[in-house]
Amino acid sequence: MDPILSLQHLKKYYATQKAVDDISFDIQKGSIFGLLGPNGAGKTTLLRMITGIFYPDEGNIILDGKTFNPSEDIAKIGYMPEERGMYKKMKIGEQALYLAQLKGLSKAEATEKIKYWFRKLEMETWWNKKVEDLSKGMSQKLQFVITVLHEPKLIILDEPFSGLDPVNANLIKDEIFGLAKNGSTIIFSTHRMEQVEEICDHIVLVNLGKKILDGTVQEIKQQYKENIFSIETDQIDSITDNPIFTIIKKEGQKVFVKINEGNNSNQVLGHLINNNNRIIAYNEVLPSLNDIFIKLVETTHATTRAFQNL
């Protein structure tokens, strides 16, 4: 399948730093894509280039097979920025209508779609309220509706769940899955790793303006696995260090072991069976994305960026 979005050697330098420094990756149609990175890694700059707010200094953006042309392609994109904004004094219905029309919908179309979404997310009574009357979570929901209203092919959500209670977060999560199923592609920018593991098909990790990780969640976990297995047994005391594996920790009925260089998981199992250990369960422990994230970001020696002279 052709990628919906393809970034090729994108660069954007500011006066004091290389915000985005030669980043390339592809996003497949209909996938949920996670763009990860610590604060100040260059995520927002990258997203602003994809939404046409900034032009890249170098490199190409290919959207749907063609070079990205902001003034035309804007209607294909829905962007929900990290810092949400609304006109506080404007009525919610009018505001949604206005923003939808700016995306190119006709007034009738926009009204119909807003009504559909408001009904779906139980917001029908909000129409004549003002944004200043809404709680943070409520305005978040409104912002989500405004972002997806014009049925964009590419939906970009920057931290979509911040400020939402679990019920509403689930509501939005289901909508995201639904949109992806219907063929929209979703770019999801966050640093909440548990959500990424749950939602995303494919992730890219950026730090200091560079891409440091690219792949599906499973691939990455395989890539960063440390050959750790958990053995569940009722005789934990009889398991001891030996040439095949090293014990990391014991927890209740579980023993966590790391397989030593040159051995494999079957050899561990063989050793345990030979020792007459009764095994209840035997599992590989894959690293969480959180662990991988922290490990990678820390090895690049900067959690916050220093300013560079260019």
Partner 1 sequence: MHKIWLIIQREYSTRVRNKRFLLVTFLMPLLMVGFLFGSAYLSSTGTEHRKIAVVDPNGFIKTSIKNTNQIEFVFPENIDTNNYSQKGFTDILILPQFDKNSKADYILRSKKSMGLMLQNSISEKINAAIEDQMLQEAGIHQNVLDSIHKASQFAELKAYEDKGGSVSKESNAGLAMGIGYASGFLIYLTLLIYGTMVMRGVMEEKTNRIAEVIISSVKPFELMSGKIIGIGAVGLTQFAMWIILITGLTSVGMGLLPADLQHQVSSLQQSNGQMAGTGMAQASESAMRIYNMQHTIATANWPLILSCFIFYFLGGYLFYSALFAAVGSVVNEDPQDAQSLMFPITMPIIFSYIITNMVTQNPNTPLAFWASMIPFSSPLVMMARVAYGVPSAVSYWELALSMSLLIGGFLFTTWLSGKIYRTGILMYGKKVNWKTMIKWAFTKQS
Q: Which residues bind partner 1 (CB under 8 A)?
A: 48, 51-57, 71, 74, 77, 79-81, 83-90, 98-99, 101-104, 143, 146
The least distance separating partner 1 from the CB of residue 54, rounded to whole angstroms, comes to: 7
Pick 139 or 233: Cβ nearer partner 1? 139
How far apart CA 50 and CA 35 sit, in angstroms, is 12
The least distance separating partner 1 from the CB of residue 79, rounded to whole angstroms, comes to: 4
Q: Exposure pattern of 264-300 as b/e (b: 16+ CB <10 Å)?
A: ebeebbebbeeeebeeeeeeebbbebeebbeebbeee
The least distance separating partner 1 from the CB of residue 134, rounded to whole angstroms, comes to: 13
The least distance separating partner 1 from the CB of residue 103, rounded to whole angstroms, comes to: 5
The long-range contacts involving 20-24, CB below 8 angstroms and separated by at least 24 positions, are 20/45, 20/46, 20/49, 20/56, 20/209, 21/208, 21/209, 21/210, 22/59, 22/210, 23/59, 23/206, 23/209, 23/210, 23/211, 24/59, 24/211
The least distance separating partner 1 from the CB of residue 157, rounded to whole angstroms, comes to: 13
The least distance separating partner 1 from the CB of residue 191, rounded to whole angstroms, comes to: 19
Pick 105 or 231: Cβ nearer partner 1? 105
Pick 84 or 211: Cβ nearer partner 1? 84
Pick 110 or 244: Cβ nearer partner 1? 110
The least distance separating partner 1 from the CB of residue 124, rounded to whole angstroms, comes to: 23
Is 214 within 8 Å of 223 (Cβ atoms)? Answer: no
The least distance separating partner 1 from the CB of residue 104, rounded to whole angstroms, comes to: 8
Pick 34 or 56: Cβ nearer partner 1? 56
How far apart CA 253 and CA 68 sit, in angstroms, is 56
Pick 81 or 93: Cβ nearer partner 1? 81
Pick 90 or 285: Cβ nearer partner 1? 90
Structure tokens at 241: 């260090």
How far apart CA 39 and CA 41 sit, in angstroms, is 6
How far apart CA 278 and CA 23 sit, in angstroms, is 51
Pick 71 or 274: Cβ nearer partner 1? 71
Q: Could you give the angle at which helices 136-148 and 92-102 cross, rounded to 10 degrees?
A: 30
The long-range contacts involving 302-308, CB below 8 angstroms and separated by at least 24 positions, are 302/207, 302/208, 303/38, 304/38, 304/39, 304/40, 305/17, 305/40, 305/41, 305/208, 307/16, 307/17, 308/16, 308/17, 308/18
